[in-house]
Chains A and B, each alone.
Chain A
């Protein structure tokens, strides 16, 4: 079936290193993607988005890459900080109100 999934449920990185969180999606009709960050006890918080007519978008310390050929999305966090520890979700949208969320990857930042 159609789904948005993540390769790694937990990612541990050293403070200061770069983090890469991956996401696979299965529907080539998806044209809008969002990365969310969810800290413990809080709601998902928007990080960055990208549309299917782009393959890269940069924000503050974050970069999202979209590879439509292999239906792959990644979130790169530069110089990972303790405050980046959270669960990260990718979400895909197919031009409607329905967002399909991935199960999430937990990022642990090691001091």
Chain B
């Protein structure tokens, strides 16, 4: 029973480089979320997809961040160009619920360090 799968687990890059984080949600789930976790701000919602369509991207910090969901089994979060302040753990989560009435299943996260 595979959960949410994220890659890479760890990424170290230099400022200015492009970073792509990947997520495979649980099969059959129709909602996908990207969160960012830092010590200072905790878990922040970056973007929410429902049935592969971006519904709310108001949490995306700026134009350097973009996310796509080309199909029900794959999503990417891209940062270009990356900056040291982007260093954080990025989580992908999926759920069956459309209206926030159910459990969010989180992946193990991608720890990003931008030097």
| A residues neighboring B (CB under 8 Å) | 32, 34, 36, 41-46, 49, 89, 93-99, 101-104
Contacts and interface: CB of A to CB of B under 8 A. Distances in A.
Interface residues of B, number: 23
Contacts of A99: 45, 100, 104
> Max chain A CB contacts within 10 Å: which of B55, B98, B104?
B104
29 contacts: A32-B100, A32-B101, A42-B108, A42-B109, A43-B93, A43-B109, A44-B43, A44-B91, A44-B104, A44-B106, A89-B43, A93-B100, A95-B100, A95-B101, A96-B99, A97-B33, A97-B48, A97-B55, A97-B56, A97-B98, A97-B99, A97-B100, A98-B45, A98-B56, A101-B42, A101-B43, A102-B42, A103-B42, A104-B42
A46 B33 CA distance: 16
Q: Tell me what chain B mostly uses at the interface: helix, strand, loop, or mixed.
A: strand
Top 9 closest pairs, chain A to chain B, by CB? A43-B106, A101-B43, A97-B100, A93-B100, A103-B42, A44-B106, A96-B100, A46-B103, A43-B108
Interface of B: 4, 31, 33, 42-43, 45, 48, 50, 55-56, 91, 93, 98-101, 103-109
A42 B93 CA distance: 13
A93 B50 CA distance: 17
A46 B45 contact: no
A56 B98 CA distance: 25
A87 B46 CA distance: 22
Nearest to B59: A98
A21 to B, nearest CB: 15
Contacts of A41: 108-109
Nearest to B107: A43
A12 B109 CA distance: 26
Nearest to B43: A101
Given A44-B91, A89-B43, A99-B104, 20 more contacts: A34-B103, A42-B108, A43-B4, A43-B93, A43-B107, A43-B108, A43-B109, A46-B105, A93-B101, A94-B100, A95-B99, A95-B101, A96-B99, A97-B31, A97-B48, A97-B50, A98-B45, A98-B100, A99-B45, A104-B42
